[in-house]
Each structure stands twice: as C-alpha cells, then as structure tokens.
Chains A and B, each alone.
Chain A
C-alpha cells in the first residue's frame, strides 16, 4: 500500500508540464545521441549535464535518466540499420537485427526492438519500485565498514567483468583512485598533489574526466573513421507490422529476459552489455532451432533488446538505494546528482522522496515516449545518421568544452579536459577500459572516508572489518570477483589444450 501511495506521489512530481517536457527532451536527446555509433550513454549524460545546472534535483535526474535509457534504446537503431552498435549494450542486437534489415525487414526489426525494450523497461521499473525501498531499508543499518566493503565489491566486480585483461582493468581502477586523491584532504585539510596550483585544491571535477575519457576519446576514434559513411543510402525501413504469430513468438523471450536483465542490472559490474549477451546466449541455448540465430531470428533480437533495457532500470537500484554506481554510466549519473546537490543512498528515500519516486515514475512515462518515438518516427529519427562525421566531430568538441567551462568558468579545466581526452584515446588504443577508472574516481573519496571513519572508530584496529557478517560476506565476494576470472581463464585454457590433444590423437 505504501508503495502505491509513494508511486502516486512520484507521478505527482512527474506530471507537471515542466517535468513531462524534461522526460521528453531526455529520451529524445538520448535516442539521438545513442544512435550515433560510439557516442554512448556516458557521453550522452555528460554532454547533457550543463543543462541541469540550476534545475531542481528531481527534474535534473528525470532528464538524465531519460537520456540514459533513451541512449540504450537509440543504440539499437544503429545496430539494426548499420550493424554499427551505438553502444556496447546493443552489440547483441545487431546479431539478428542487422540480418533482418538486410532481408528488407528493418521496419519489423525496429518495431520488435521497440516493443521488447518497452516491455523490458516497464517490467524492470515495476521491479525497481518494489525492490528499491526494501534495499534502502536494509542499507540504513550500514556503517562505514559495510560501505567500504560494498564499494570495494562494486569496484572489483566492474574491474573483473570488464572486457579483456583483468590486470589492465585493475590498473585503470587504481589510476582512478589516484586521481581522486588530488586536492585538499577532507579530514586533515592536507593538500595532496596540488603542486601549489589553486585550481587543483578542490580536486578534478568528475565531468572533466567523464567527458575527456569518453566523449573526447570518442572524437579521436571518429576522426580516424571519418571517411567511412555513417549510413549506406538506404533509408527505407519497410513495414513496421508484426504478425500475431510473431508477437506470440517473442512474448516468451520478453517475459524471461525482463527478469534476467533486471537481476543482472542490479548486480555491480554486470550492466546492459553482459545482460544482453547472457540473454542472447540463453535464448539460443533453449531454442529448438539454434542454427537460425544470427540469420535474422526474431527471438534473437527480442531477447537482448528486452534485457538491455531491463538492466538499465535495474542499475538504478544500487545507485539510488546504496549510493553505489554499478557501472561507468551510473557513476556519471551519480556525479550528475552530486552536481545538483543530492547524495544518493539509503537516506535519499526520506531526504529526497521527490527525486527517488519522481525518477521511478518518470521511467513509466519515458518508456511510453520511447515507444511512441521509436515506432512511427523512426525513419525520420534515423536521418541523424546522415550527419557528416567531419561536422559532428567539431560539434561534439564544442559541447564538451561548454560542459566543462560551465562547471568552473576556468580555462585551466579545459586544458585538463584536453589532457584527459588524449589519455582516454591512448587507453583505448592499449585496451585499458575507462569504466573502472571513472567508477574508482567517483567512489574514491567515499571509499577513503568510510575506510578512515571505520579505523578511527576502532582506534586503528583492522579487526573492525571482520566484526560484521555483512562486511565479511562483501569482502569475500570482492575477493571472489577478483579470483574468478583467473580460475575461469585457466579452466578455459585447460579445456582448449585438452581439445587440441583430443584432435591430435
């Protein structure tokens, strides 16, 4: 009953002209930016942050959340039409979406993607509404040791689940923590690594790092690929009609992967990419005709599309209730919330119920807007893919510049932005994932604070980290999340060797 009255309050927050407009702007901007190959939700949110300055916190988060799930939604369009996923969470969408487009069924594929995303998004918003308050009430009892262990788990999970080498991901996370130590230490007032520069006293703003590592680094990649056309002449998407038989066929995957996607979204480190791949693989495994996957099977399209949107809403659970982002994107969202003066966490439910319930209610509306936008308007929206890259690159650079200048009104930060852009590009070339860095940077200050608070309370005794069962469990899970990839890679190597030997004999 409580949840229903809280949701009604949430709708009261959202259903004002201003907030409805923000939901619409958010999902539209997210869809457009997410559609552009490379510019994913992190860049989309970071680019939109300057617009939130001066907004009230609920409206700001409603806008940003709209941009987030809008970008995930938009990413599927370029996956289907161009086989060039806008974001990593829609890579699996292209496996069957693009073959369908090649068969002249792009409209059908886009319609299936839109309906699956809507269903996945809506189911997981309901789950978010039910799970989040429970999680928050559990987390209220958390002390510094529990918080420290929880943040450590978030960090190790995202590092170990990143693509490629775990060592590289851990190095990225460590560099993120190192950058977080720049500035005045909050507890002792000591200046750390400022080199006497007053611009560094408050540390480096997260927006500089987010825009540099993601948007500017993407600009560098766009420069390298600028000669390739974004879209191959054919803008005819064909009929959007789905037959009754097809609707029946996709209802199973939609139901299954709404739940799976949500659960994977809640887990730290997993997120939309892993959720979509897991769903695709699961659907292929349980299918009676797995060989049709990758050739335009509508189930292979519906499963990842449902899952990535469900995971997006799921990722809001740890963000809103614990104040712990589980991915790079939610880390940027957390930064955006801090900019407007809201500290997410278990107390957010009581301190800022308008933000908490407002954003959940806005997701119902946002999903509806996305369905309306993406079904009849898709052929028109897809025209954004015609923007010449040479022009797009310059425009993105200007957006990044204004975004950073608007925070501090200092050109020093613009130089830092350029430096982080170069660093982000080098990291990409060397396969160092950027998400652990931004997550570690965001969590760094909070982690250090919890760690020192815990030790101050215990008078310097490290035994305090083993006093609470929750802390111990979380620490064990962190350790497991680090060791699992090593065990997994050793096992897969062993299996590969055994297979080789078997073939040789």
Chain B
C-alpha cells in the first residue's frame, strides 16, 4: 500500500502539516484583531493536511519520470553539497577571494575538469573580477578575510 514514492511523500507531508498545525495553535492571541495572526497558518495547515490525504488517495505516479540516479552520482551530489557547506563555513573567516578560488579549483576538478592551467586562470580571474566589481563598482562589500584589499 505504501509502495509508491508519492504515498510516502504524502505521509511525510501529512506529518509536516500536523507539526505546522501544532505550532499554529501555539501562536499567541491578539485581543483586538478581527482576524488574528494564527488564522491563515491554521487554514494552511488544514489545507496541506487535506491535500496530503488527496495525494495519498489519488497516488499520481504515472506522471513521474523514472529517475535512476547511480550511487556514485548521489555521492557526487552529496560531495558538492558538502563543499558548499564548507564554503559557507569559511566564507567570512577566510574572506571571499581565498575561499572562492579554493572552491572553484576543488569543485571543478572534482566534477571532472582536467585542464589545470585554464582552471587556475579562470578561478583566480573570475574571483578577482567579481570581488572588485562588487566591492568597488556596486559597493556591495564581500568578506575581506586576512587579505589587505
């Protein structure tokens, strides 16, 4: 009965709607509001629950393209997500220039780009052009890190 992905998703969505409804009922009441801040969230919580049940019943599996992603591709997706996470973690600490050059070198290499010289030139050139355009032309200050500029 739970075989299709749609039905599993429907159950997850139903659980989310229950959690959302629980949180909506915790919202404080405002004495003079004709329609209080909790009105819409409660309505949306019930709507999501109803739609989840409808998704479970209708089970529209026929429109889903079969996506067989290979295991190594899943690992690659996870690795890139991990690198983005590390990038964010180090973004303000090391500054935009250092962390972006490193990110471009590592990610592009990991994804299979082999031309070393081009990769180094693009990583450094692209990062510096972006950094100076944002900092000096657009006045959007990106983290400097330990660099003096």
Task: Give A contacts to B, CB under 8 Å.
Answer: 50-51, 53-54, 163-165, 167-168, 170-171, 174-175, 177-178, 181, 185, 187-188, 190, 192-193, 219-220, 223-224, 226-227, 388-391, 393-395, 397-398, 401-402, 405-406, 409, 411, 414-415, 418, 421-422, 425, 429-431, 448, 451-452, 455-456, 459-460
Decide: B103 and A398 in contact? CB cutoff 8 A. yes
Residues of chain B contacted by A192 (CB below 8 angstroms): 27, 37, 41
B76 to chain A: which residues have CB within 8 Å? 223
Taking A53-B138, A171-B55 as contacts, is the C-beta distance between A451 and B28 under 8 angstroms? Answer: no
Q: Which chain A residues border B96 with CB–CB below 8 Å?
A: 402
Select the residue from B44, B58, B73, B80 with max chain A CB neighbours within 10 A: B44
Tell which of B35, B73, B127 touches A452, judged by Cβ atoms closer than 8 Å. Answer: B35
Q: Which residues in window 103-132 of B have CB below 8 A to A?
A: 103-104, 107-108, 111-113, 119, 122, 126-127, 130
Judging by beta carbons under 8 Å apart, are B51 and A223 in contact?
Answer: no
A167, A227, A411, A448, most chain B CB atoms within 10 A: A167
- A188, B35: Cα distance in complex, Å: 10
**How far, in angstroms, from A459 to B73 measured CA to CA in the complex?**
57
A272 to chain B, nearest CB (A): 21
Which secondary structure characterizes the binding site on chain B? helix
| Residues from chain A with Cβ under 8 Å of B15 in the complex | none
Known: A188-B37, A430-B9. A167 touches B58 (CB 8 A): yes
A-B contact pairs, 20 of them (CB 8 A): A50-B140, A167-B51, A167-B54, A167-B55, A187-B33, A190-B30, A192-B37, A227-B112, A393-B108, A394-B103, A398-B126, A398-B127, A401-B87, A402-B96, A402-B130, A406-B140, A411-B92, A422-B81, A430-B6, A455-B34
B88 engages A391 (CB within 8 Å) = no
Which residues on B sit within 8 Å (CB–CB) of A405?
Answer: 91, 142
Question: How far is A257 from B67 in the complex, measured between Cα atoms in Å?
Answer: 36
Known: A165-B63, A418-B81. A411 touches B88 (CB 8 A): yes
**Among candidates A177, A390, A415, residue contacting B88 with C-beta atoms closer than 8 Å:** A415
What separation, in Å, do the CA atoms of A377 and B100 have in the docked complex? Answer: 32
Partner of B34, one of A53, A168, A414, A456: A456
